[in-house]
Amino acid sequence: MKDEKTVIEDVNREFYDFRFEEGDDVFRVSEGLTEAIVSEISREKNDPDWMREFRLRSLEIYKRTDMPDWGPPIDGLNMDNIVTYVRPNAGMKASWEDVPDDIKTTFERLGIPEAERKSLAGVGAQYDSELVYHNVKKEVAEKGVIYTDIESALHGEYGEMIRAHFMKLVPPQDHKFAALHGAVWSGGSFVYVPRGVSVEIPLQSYFRLNAPGAGQFEHTLIIVDEGADLHFIEGCSAPKYNVANLHAGCVELFVGRNARLRYSTIENWSKNMYNLNTKRALVEEGGKIEWVSGSFGSHTSYLYPMSILNGRGARSEFTGITFAGHGQNLDTGCKIVHNAPETSSYVNTRSISKSGGISTFRSSVVVNKNAENSKSSVSCQSLMVDSESRSDTIPAMDIKTDKADIGHEAKIGRISDDAVFYLMSRGLSEENAKALIVSGFAENVSKELPLEYAVEMNNLIRIEMKGAIG
């Protein structure tokens, strides 16, 4: 099965697509997503029947659901021609020459190896990451941990488990892009950590980024069983470039009784990307979800990881950072539903906007009637690097019991000229002074990350800060 995803197969398919399309380009131009296309995807992926039906049902929902109208504008997405996002044709494939210069420069600055650069940009051969992936897999497999791509897991002994969980937390009815995801999802990871097992090393989807279709509609499904413990790291700091500039991934996390899952992400999409991602965790009694989230890049982002605290004493911790630079509108935040007594949530975020970038932080805390003696504390801080940039915080709270302890704090500030002058008077250039202030501001997030990621994130901040000055 895996062998189908080799370089040669890919090239062949493109070639085939190209010939196939020669005659009916005109017909395709303003075509919506059809049953035929979704069925074809399903056939290619060798889906089990239930999955094919699921895709088609999602397609129906997709068709009758309206576009979201409450967030940053997404009219840049041409929904009449959604096919070009779902199935970029051969003619649309970029060549290395077409990859924007800023991305190439970032690759260089991050020291990404040549071979990997092209692959990250979606224009080169597949980066051979399977080897690393296999080693990790072997190590954890000894403990009974399943860590695999989701397509092959569908057919294995965990097929039923996937069926029982797949898009149950994020149903296709949720919003238009969840429905789209349900219809055309492709790639992603499946992790199952059995009862009582602690996975010592973080599992990293970094190595798997370059699977075909991954990084666009990928699905991540993680089940951490009772008393088990896992740290999963998604993404990497290299900007992912894709001519099809829509990302509608989905992450579903199931945290069992007294289990713990830490889910860390650094996303750095290319600056043409519409990132409409949905992430959700369900936490049982005494369990804990810890989100660490760094959002960089993209043209427009909608990203609000949600935690549903469903059992007594369940906890959620969210630490996030968002960096919106020139031309970017990043709408991020998080949602928490307290749905059992003695649950607690803790949110701590930083957002940075620069050179006209817009960053909006939305938080939503719901405390249901049954969630007595629950606690929630939300703190968000925004920093504007200059006066052209914008920052907003939009808190929402719905507290249905008196017996809850709820706190919210928001601060919005601008880098003061005095602070820059102070640091410059100690020998730092203006650029370095501002970068120092920004990385200091971000420090509470970077310290949550494993060292090498923290270093990468600081690098990213430095890179984003370059050119902050006229």
Partner 1 sequence: MEEKLLVIKNLRSGLEDKEILKGIDLEIGKGETHVIMGPNGAGKSTLGNVIMGNPVYTVTAGTAEYCGEDLFEMSVSERAKKGIFMSFQNPIEVPGISLENFLRSASEEVTGERVRIWPFHKEIEKNLGILDMDGAYADRDLNVGFSGGEKKKAEILQLMMLKPKLAILDETDSGLDVDAVKTVSGGIREYQKDADASLLIITHNAAILESLRVDKVHVIVDGRIVETKGPELIDEIVKDGFAKYEEQGE
- Residues within the interface to partner 1 (CB under 8 A): 416-419, 421-430, 432, 436-437, 439-444
Could you write out the DSSP letters of every residue in 413-448? EE--HHHHHHHHTTT--HHHHHHHHHHHHHHHHHTT
Determine the Cα–Cα distance for residues 357 and 323; give it in Å rounded to an integer.
8
Measured from the CB atom, is 65 or 444 closer to partner 1?
444
Q: Whole-number minimum distance, CB 430 to partner 1, in Å?
A: 7
Measured from the CB atom, is 64 or 426 closer to partner 1?
426
Measured from the CB atom, is 18 or 421 closer to partner 1?
421
Of 327, 317, 382, residue with least CA distance to 351: 382
Measured from the CB atom, is 23 or 427 closer to partner 1?
427
Measured from the CB atom, is 327 or 440 closer to partner 1?
440
Determine the Cα–Cα distance for residues 223 and 241; give it in Å rounded to an integer.
30
Measured from the CB atom, is 125 or 419 closer to partner 1?
419
Q: Whole-number minimum distance, CB 105 to partner 1, in Å?
A: 24
Determine the Cα–Cα distance for residues 359 and 361; give it in Å rounded to an integer.
7
Determine the Cα–Cα distance for residues 435 and 238; give it in Å rounded to an integer.
19
Query: Cβ neighbours of residue 78 under 8 Å, at least 6 residues apart?
Result: 84
Determine the Cα–Cα distance for residues 320 and 291; give it in Å rounded to an integer.
8
Measured from the CB atom, is 69 or 417 closer to partner 1?
417
Q: Whole-number minimum distance, CB 109 to partner 1, in Å?
A: 19
Q: Whole-number minimum distance, CB 395 to partner 1, in Å?
A: 22
Q: Whole-number minimum distance, CB 420 to partner 1, in Å?
A: 9
Measured from the CB atom, is 273 or 437 closer to partner 1?
437
Q: Which two tokens stand for residue 164?
A: 């029982």
Determine the Cα–Cα distance for residues 150 and 147; give it in Å rounded to an integer.
9
Determine the Cα–Cα distance for residues 135 and 349; give it in Å rounded to an integer.
35
Q: Whole-number minimum distance, CB 446 to partner 1, in Å?
A: 9
Query: What sign has the CA pseudo-torsion 94, 97, 99, 100?
Result: negative
Query: Cβ neighbours of residue 325 under 8 Å, at least 6 residues apart?
Result: 271, 353, 354, 355, 357, 464
Q: Whole-number minimum distance, CB 436 to partner 1, in Å?
A: 6
β-bridge pairing 146-149 and 189-193: antiparallel
DSSP annotation of 97 = G
Measured from the CB atom, is 282 or 415 closer to partner 1?
415
| Residue 352 near residue 321, CB atoms below 8 Å | yes
- Kindly state the helix (H) or strand (E) to which residue 332 belongs, with its residue range: strand 329-338
Measured from the CB atom, is 111 or 427 closer to partner 1?
427
Determine the Cα–Cα distance for residues 102 and 88; give it in Å rounded to an integer.
23
Q: Which two tokens stand for residue 250?
A: 């989905």
Rounded to the nearest 5°, which phi and psi values hold at 316? -135, 135
Q: Whole-number minimum distance, CB 138 to partner 1, in Å?
A: 39
Q: Whole-number minimum distance, CB 443 to partner 1, in Å?
A: 4
Rounded to the nearest 5°, which phi and psi values hold at 465? -75, -25
Q: Whole-number minimum distance, CB 438 to partner 1, in Å?
A: 9
Q: Whole-number minimum distance, CB 170 to partner 1, in Å?
A: 34
Measured from the CB atom, is 129 or 444 closer to partner 1?
444
